[in-house]
Structure 1
Amino acid sequence: MPARRPSPHTLPEVAGGGLLDRRLFLRRGLVLATATAAAHTASATPDDDLPWLHEPGAPFTPYGQPSPHERLTARRIGANRAVPGNGVSFTPLEELEGIITPNGLHFERHHNGVPQIDPARHTLTLHGRVKQPLVFDVKSLLRYPMRSQLLFIECGGNSNAGWHQSPIQRPAGSVHGLISCAEWTGVPLSVLLDEAGVEPDARWVIAEGADAGAMNMSIPLAKMREDCLIGLYQNGERLRPEQGYPMRLIVPGWEGVLHVKWLQRLELSAQPVMSRNETAKYTELLPSGKARQFTFTMDCKSLITSPSHGQSLKQPDIYQVSGLAWSGHGRIRRVEVSADGGRSWADAALDGPVLPRCLTRFRIPWRWNGQPAVLKSRAIDERGNRQPERAALVAERGRAGYFHYNGIVAWAIDDDGRVSHTY
């Protein structure tokens, strides 16, 4: 006798707001009402009206491209009009699935455009407080032992619109899309440091890029030894120019500005260089009058990407709430979701593998009854760090903040099913 399908109206709730047991998506009997309607519509199309069933397809191409029907899935560019090469482009998080960002959609931050570097003329110099200064060309680095790791990179200014007095109404990726996740492959920096020999008084490494902006940043030597890479590959292929070709720095879990692109120089020093991006920027005044400086690690954070701003729910039904969570401190341990504005919470399911300093996809089914609702998610990492409510974050950091915003993001669903950003 076939198993009886549970009715969407009799499924057990584990929290208020219609949140259901996360395991329901694993049950073969759970069928959404919209799936039946979609199947009926598909079967109504005659085969004669589908030319791809009868005509030969396109020939091979040297490098694959997305379908033309997906051309609207693209980075959103937020350029600086005064300086065309200075600005950002956002990853459209709400249009993607899983945790890996395609190379062509990885977010960008440039200070003076994208240099077109000839790898045959590019070198990396390792000098300063070392016993033997070294110079590496690209071909020599490509022969060194390498390591691959799935890691997110997040700009320190990601989500900074959350500091505004009123919630900004843009798609999730256009506000929070200065984060992407990829498999990075490169040479462990510890190998090069050991080869050069580090002087006892060295404490910092000053990294400099080969772009016209000569971007330079100071990073503690201990972090560089621990897990940093000279990145040479992204998702299996050589870096693209906008991601630092022919080489970049990878600093796992730390703010994106430290992942210096087009890397050309590493200088070991006894103190930080105190560059513009360590003084005028990335330093914030607190309500106490003290300033936050060298706030390297990206904090525990999550974001519901579906449903989110600009999307809509067509009718009362069971929907999948899905999103991303991450922490520069390590693995995500738990993600909780609320559908009643935070009065009650339910545990979401985490897609595996859950890796340290990597995006984690979470999911939970939700029965929307057609009434107004507010969706929230909050992440907890393996060290016990918990994503704060926006009000608590503003109370702690004040209104002068710009960087490292990790407050809980809330989406309001009205009775027509439209989704908007709310505080």
Structure 2
Amino acid sequence: MTVSFNGKKPSRRAVLKGALAAGGAVAGATMARAAGPDLLITQTQPWAQGLGEGVDATPYGLPIRFESDVVRRNVEWLTADTISSINFTPIHALDGTITPQGCAFERHHSGAIELRKEDYRLMINGLVDTPLVFTYEDLERFPRVNRVHFCECAANTGMEWAGAQLNGAQFTHGMIHNMEYSGVPLGTLLKEAGVQTEGKWVYVEGADASSNGRSIPLEKAMEDVLVAFKANGEALRKEHGYPVRLVVPGWEGNMWVKWLRRVEVTDGPVESREETSKYTDTLADGTSRKWTWVMDAKSVVTSPSPQSPITHGHGPLVITGLAWSGHGKITRVDVTVDGGKTWQQARLAADPQDKAVTRFYLDHVWQGEEMLLQSRAMDETGYVQPTKDALRDVRGENSIYHNNCIQTWWVKSDGEAENVEIS
């Protein structure tokens, strides 16, 4: 949607001036209720009349209490017990691309364990010349790298296959985080052990009770998999696998084994173990897709959305959201306010990074009309994010995994938003 005056697209300053003029009656009424000038500007306020807290009041900095609603949330009925459950990143309340660790979603198979760095060991065995065991200190001595990548649960948006279910970007798309990881390339450690020619896969497992064993092709392991011990510059959080986890860029989150304890080089996938059948995508005819590791291009408008309604009234509105692809970089995001009848190219906030989240913005003028908001991502392979109907035509509704459909928010005339489907 564009607004034009005399056939020309106005500048943002003109739009702001027009919006203020159009809203003059409302603004005037508000000032009349205030009975004079805005005292928050004209009078010295309590917070400027005394001293604040000292620098050691909170040794580890926490968000100010006015932002106390920006938290991870779970869905109580989703699983029988939180030790094998998930919570969701508050993507509706964040901006930029980096997810604070304290807001990044969790997924556990047997609960988050406490493992001291001093007690940490990582074994590399199997089809290698020299089986090795590394301590945490050993890992710190290897040349390290820093990379920004997204981690998305394969079940993200999974409950939406059968229809609009959960009312919020946090609950529909919040099984994702995007962080800067620091660590040692797994390929470096494998070369240290000496991979034998028969080696074609690696089997990785964690130190928790579930072990969450997964098989990864050796090619991927050598290409860009990271043995990480820092995230966003600090130690991993307990719930994210402290002290060491695996980072598998672009691939579903269940491969990102936490509390990594062993990497076994094998000549094939470990078919006898649960990991080969746990994450499969059942199709409409009852057959299942296996080895669907890569997360396809996806996006979502985070604001306006059900948990982030429009509250400032008519006028300029910044529509924003996130896009990502496990195949590489996002190259373009389009946004529609009319349910796909017309599309506008959004502005990418920064140069997209490989297998990382990209922030997009669309500057819009909202005059109280209802909107059907959607975003559509494209990546460097040429892949275009599909609609729900297009996905269902191929995949049916039997799976909960790999739903990268276009999301629709119905923004109402009062600024509230709701999760809906349109055909």
TM-score over 0.5 for the pair? yes
One of 79, 82, 86 as aligned partner of 2:80? 82
Displacement, 1:9? 6.1
One of 303, 306, 309 as aligned partner of 2:303? 306
SS of aligned partner of 1:85: helix
Q: Deviations over 1:357-400 (max 9, x none)?
A: 11100011222332322111100001101000110001110111
* 1:388-403 aligned within 5 A: 388-403=386-401
CA contact (8 A) 2:147 2:182 kept: yes
Match of 1:3 in 2: none
* 1:32-47 aligned within 5 A: 33=19, 43-45=38-40
Displacement, 1:8? 6.3
The letter for the 1-side match of 2:317 is Y
* 1:220-239 aligned within 5 A: 220-239=217-236
Question: Partners of 1:219 and 1:12 in 2: how far apart?
Answer: 57
The letter for the 1-side match of 2:124 is L
CA contact (8 A) 2:333 2:345 kept: yes
Whether 2:28 is the aligned partner of 1:31: answer no
* 1:87-236 aligned within 5 A: 87-164=85-162, 166-236=163-233
Question: Partners of 1:200 and 1:419 in 2: how far apart?
Answer: 57
Quick one: percent identity of the two aligned structures? 39
SS of aligned partner of 2:317: strand
CA contact (8 A) 1:372 1:415 kept: yes
Moved more, 302-311 or 341-350: 302-311
Question: Partners of 1:105 and 1:268 in 2: how far apart?
Answer: 34
CA contact (8 A) 2:301 2:321 kept: yes
CA contact (8 A) 2:113 2:238 kept: yes
Change beyond 3 A, Cα 1:413–1:55: same
Question: Partners of 1:196 and 1:169 in 2: how far apart?
Answer: 47
Displacement, 1:203? 1.1
Question: Partners of 1:418 and 1:289 in 2: how far apart?
Answer: 39
SS of aligned partner of 1:278: helix
Q: Deviations over 1:151-200 (max 9, x none)?
A: 11000000112202x31242211221000101001001111111111111
Whether 2:47 is the aligned partner of 1:52: answer yes
Change beyond 3 A, Cα 1:209–1:358: same
Change beyond 3 A, Cα 1:30–1:145: farther
CA contact (8 A) 1:78 1:87 kept: no
The letter for the 2-side match of 1:128 is G
The letter for the 1-side match of 2:336 is S
The letter for the 2-side match of 1:397 is R
One of 403, 410, 413 as aligned partner of 1:412? 410
Question: Where do 5+ consecutive residues of structure 2 fail to align?
Answer: none
Question: Where do 5+ consecutive residues of structure 1 fail to align?
Answer: 1-6, 14-19
CA contact (8 A) 1:169 1:309 kept: no
Q: Deviations over 1:289-339 (max 9, x none)?
A: 532101011000000001111443354323111000000001101001111
Question: Partners of 1:120 and 1:70 in 2: how far apart?
Answer: 36
CA contact (8 A) 1:203 1:269 kept: yes
Question: Partners of 2:309 and 2:139 in 1: how far apart?
Answer: 49
SS of aligned partner of 1:58: coil
Question: Partners of 1:120 and 1:409 in 2: how far apart?
Answer: 45
SS of aligned partner of 1:223: helix
TM-score (structure 1 length as normaliser): 0.90
CA contact (8 A) 2:16 2:316 kept: no
Q: What is the count of residue pairs matched by the alignment?
A: 405
CA contact (8 A) 1:8 1:318 kept: no
Change beyond 3 A, Cα 1:248–1:376: same
Question: Partners of 2:400 and 2:204 in 1: how far apart?
Answer: 24
Q: Deviations over 1:102-156 (max 9, x none)?
A: 0100110011111110211110000001111000000111111100011110000
TM-score (structure 2 length as normaliser): 0.90
Question: Partners of 2:410 and 2:376 in 1: how far apart?
Answer: 16
Match of 1:356 in 2: 354
SS of aligned partner of 1:225: helix
Q: Deviations over 1:76-95 (max 9, x none)?
A: 02366633311001000000
Q: Deviations over 1:226-282 (max 9, x none)?
A: 011101110001111111111000001110000000000000111112332430x21
Question: Partners of 1:144 and 1:285 in 2: how far apart?
Answer: 42
SS of aligned partner of 1:107: coil
Question: Partners of 1:416 and 1:9 in 2: how far apart?
Answer: 24
Question: Partners of 2:7 and 2:190 in 1: how far apart?
Answer: 57
Displacement, 1:414? 2.4
The letter for the 2-side match of 1:411 is W
SS of aligned partner of 1:124: strand
Question: Partners of 1:287 and 1:63 in 2: how far apart?
Answer: 50
CA contact (8 A) 1:160 1:403 kept: yes
CA contact (8 A) 1:8 1:317 kept: no
Question: Partners of 1:306 and 1:348 in 2: how far apart?
Answer: 14
Change beyond 3 A, Cα 1:258–1:51: same
One of 318, 338, 341 as aligned partner of 2:339? 341
SS of aligned partner of 2:82: coil
Moved more, 242-251 or 314-323: 314-323
The letter for the 1-side match of 2:72 is R
